[in-house]
Chains A and B, each alone.
Chain A
Amino acid sequence: MRCATARRMMSRFLDDELRPGSRAAVDGHLAGCPSCQAALADQRRIWALLSSLPPVEPPDVLRAVERRLAEPAGEPAPLARPGLGLAAWAVAAATLVGLLIWTGIWAGEAHHRASVAGQGELAEAFSDVPPGFEVLALLERSEK
């Protein structure tokens, strides 16, 4: 076995994830390779360092969970910060769908331009626009 192969298998070796045959092959290589022995020892030390992280005291979440379960089921926004929550995105998406329909009916000129631009060009034209916001960008550009 070459060093490169042994190094590739080292993570599985350390985590006891190798089959017996492969493990024996790595063991055999290590026995005659000081460089890989050193690499293994280094990996072991790094892994052991993770133990220096203090244990975590878990909060009592049961009461809060039961309180939340008593509320009507909706689409929750686990962390309101940072950025928009899921509910806000849903409202934004619904608004955009409405705008899309409205645009299809009333913004004939803009729609026509988008149609003739072709899909590839359209995608390119709005490559700097976040997904879902193409219609707003289209209206903005048609006003210029």
Chain B
Amino acid sequence: MAREWLTDRAAAADEDHEAIRRVARGERAAFRVLVERYRAPLYSFVLRMIRRPADAEELVQETFVRAFRAAPRYRPEASVSTWLFHIASRLTMNEAARAHRRRERAVEPPDLPTSAPGPEESLAQKELADAVGAALAELPPKQRAAVVLSRFEGMSYREIGQVLDVSEGAVDGLLQRARRTLSTLLRAFA
């Protein structure tokens, strides 16, 4: 199973490298493939960082615009996926830091799950999701980014380090501190 997953990731990385080479030559079709492939994970990352859907959408658009323009300068030292998240992270981090300082809260929570639970279950689920979302928002932006990239994007410490421009040891520290904080904030639900 793990081997299959690794093979899939390696194959996807090869496809991405080929796509970005074509994007660098100005091929819009290859660019559309990358946008379709990464719009969901990038939007998920940015939205969980800043919690404002309209701003998250704008930042994702900007990420792709910058990626298209920077494609000729792309060097395959990191995966295309990591590179895109790096661009998104740089765009998002300042905004997240400002919001964190203001202790700003989301106007609306992200979309609800696609499944349709009963009213009681739905209420409990929403309460839990709100509490988890609020606890995540309490984390300093870098810790939050490390949690989101690890938990939701399944990135390794090495990949998270590349996205956030920090060492693997620093990623370890960010996640340790984040876990401690989340443990305190979510004790009532654990």
Residue ranges of A at the interface with B (Cβ–Cβ < 8 Å): 8, 10-12, 15, 17, 42-43, 45-47, 49-50, 52-62, 64-66, 68-69, 73, 76, 78-79, 82-83
Q: Which of B114, B125, B183 has the most CB of A within 10 A?
A: B183
B43, B48, B69, B112: the one within 8 Å of A73 (CB): B69
B40, B64, B151: the one within 8 Å of A58 (CB): B40
Any A CB within 8 A of the CB of B110: yes
How many residues on chain B are close to A (CB under 8 Å)?
53
B59 x A53 contact (CB < 8 A): no
Query: B-side binding surface: helix, strand, loop or mixed?
Result: helix
Any A CB within 8 A of the CB of B28: yes
B65, B98, B133, B147: the one within 8 Å of A76 (CB): B65
A65 x B175 contact (CB < 8 A): no
Any A CB within 8 A of the CB of B165: no
B60 x A46 contact (CB < 8 A): no
* Smallest beta-carbon distance A40→chain B, Å: 11
A56 x B110 contact (CB < 8 A): yes
Question: CA separation between A56 and B176, bound complex, in Å?
Answer: 26
B91 x A58 contact (CB < 8 A): no
| Given A17-B156, A78-B91, A11 and B61 contact (CB-CB distance below 8 Å) | no
Complex interface bits, B146-181 against A, C-beta within 8 A gives 1, otherwise 0: 010011100011000000000010001001100100
Q: Which single residue of chain A is at the shortest CB-CB distance from B36?
A: A62
* Smallest beta-carbon distance B114→chain A, Å: 7
